Amino acid sequence: MKKIIRNGTIVTASDMYCADILIENERIIAIGENLDEHGAEKIDAKGCYVFPGGIDPHTHLEMPFGGTVSKDDFETGTIAAAFGGTTTVIDFCLTNKGEPLQKAIDAWHAKSKDKAVIDYSFHLMISELNEDVLNQLPSIMDKEGITSFKVFMAYKNVFQADDETLFKTLVMAKERGGLVMVHAENGDVIDYLVKEALEKGQTDPIYHALTRPPEAEGEATGRAAQLTGLAKSQLYVVHVSCAEAVEKIAEARNKGFDVWGETCPQYLALDQTYLEKPDFEGAKYVWSPPLREKWNQEVLWNALKNGQLQTLGSDQCSFDFVGQKDLGKGDFSKIPNGGPMIEDRVSILFSEGVKKGRITLNQFVDIMSTRIAKLFGLFPKKGTITVGADADIVIFDPEAERTISAKTHHMAVDYNAFEGMKVTGEAISVLSRGEFVIRDKKFVGKPGTGNYLKRARYNQILKPTDEKMTI
């Protein structure tokens, strides 16, 4: 059935204007004033912004970690994402050394089959890059449309790859049109600091942060950026948490290196003191990189404003406080790393960013959707409101107020990291390819309706040298 969204203010990464949107067969087919179409359903967006659907480039749904599995799967995770105004997620597919890449991809397809309520895609982890793996990649990129590859510089003896693997991955990506993503922390140094702390009997959650200092993140970020420049390749640094890492990304971009940076809502709104909460509650805030001293928040906001950082991911990886996080009682290194962020990513960026004058409305759309679509081969099908694009649309009330709480969120986890935080701005209705998933703040979607997305290869739509310090 055709739909017309009327009376709203359309906001994209570059424009803001009042117009109607006509939707048919999953796509936007017309944008204009006073559109009318016989038999079309009329949707009134008066008083609301109309945004392109959010894209979350960083999720870990139903992911094994530390002897357990993250709580939100592709059903609960994508429902929560939709409530927050996200219509596409890109999840990380973990591989095992010595096993065919397709085996891991098939496992992720099995996890997501008949579950997702919004569209989704996969990144692929690279833990080794030998001739066998290299030979598999062209068909994976063509067949699966997976064009982004994750390399961990941390989690020694679990996920961590060496510098040779990272450099080979960068060279491969340059040759074949992939985008390399790094978790940038010095895993060797962290491993030493963790062992030292435990030997001293320092076992509380706060030591998770103290053994993963910002210098370790800054060093790894700088090393990855330098290797990118050497390979003349392209790099995307995930979950940037501190000034040291921002500085290295800015330095690389000023040299003309093709380096991009993502931060997350937890680093914009929470700080290291949360890990000091009594009765082991600090474990709720254990993820990597850890929360930093509060002053880093303004550094991150300024980096988003001036273009040193470009995107916001959730790093969704939820574990229950009771029964999962408490596996690390008496040993902080055994606390499953991750938190529930997927639902509140967009609201926090709007409330703390736009409402407080830290970023503009156009920057908000760019950071939570458009730039991600461009970097990960989804634009202009996703990430914007234009004729021909998928009708992934969020009707957003900029004045709605709510208090974030586990009592009202839609994730499967037993706590909310932002518990008690008051935010302004809320997704009222959300459409995925022209069909309501959320309508008047109620879930009306259906598991299994989300499509797997094959993505285009990285084509350097935007380069750091084209932008300098502006958006």
Range of the domain at 237: 52-383+453-467
Residue 33 lies in a domain: no
CATH number at residue 345: 3.20.20.140
Question: Is 113 domain-assigned?
Answer: yes
Q: Which residues of the chain have pLDDT under 70?
A: 460-471
Q: Does residue 445 lie in a domain region?
A: no
> Is 32 inside any structural domain?
no
Distance CA 233, CA 235 (A): 7
Whether 437 is covered by a domain: the verdict is no
Q: Cα(273)–Cα(94) distance, rounded to whole angstroms?
A: 31
How many domains, in total, are found in the chain?
Answer: 1
In this prediction the pTM is 0.96
Give the C-alpha separation, 349 to 365, whole Å: 10
Whether 11 and 50 have beta carbons less than 8 Å apart is answered as yes
Is residue 412 situated within a structural domain?
A: no
Q: Residue 139 domain-assigned? A: yes
At residue 139, the pLDDT reads 94
b/e 319-350 (16+ beta carbons within 10 angstroms → b)? bbeeebbbbbeeebbebbbbbbbbbbbbbbbb
**267 located within any domain:** yes
pLDDT of 461 reads: 52
Cα 217 from chain centroid (whole Å): 18
pLDDT in the model for residue 471: 29
User: Exposed, middle or buried by CB within 10 Å (0-12, 13-18, 19+), for 356?
Assistant: exposed
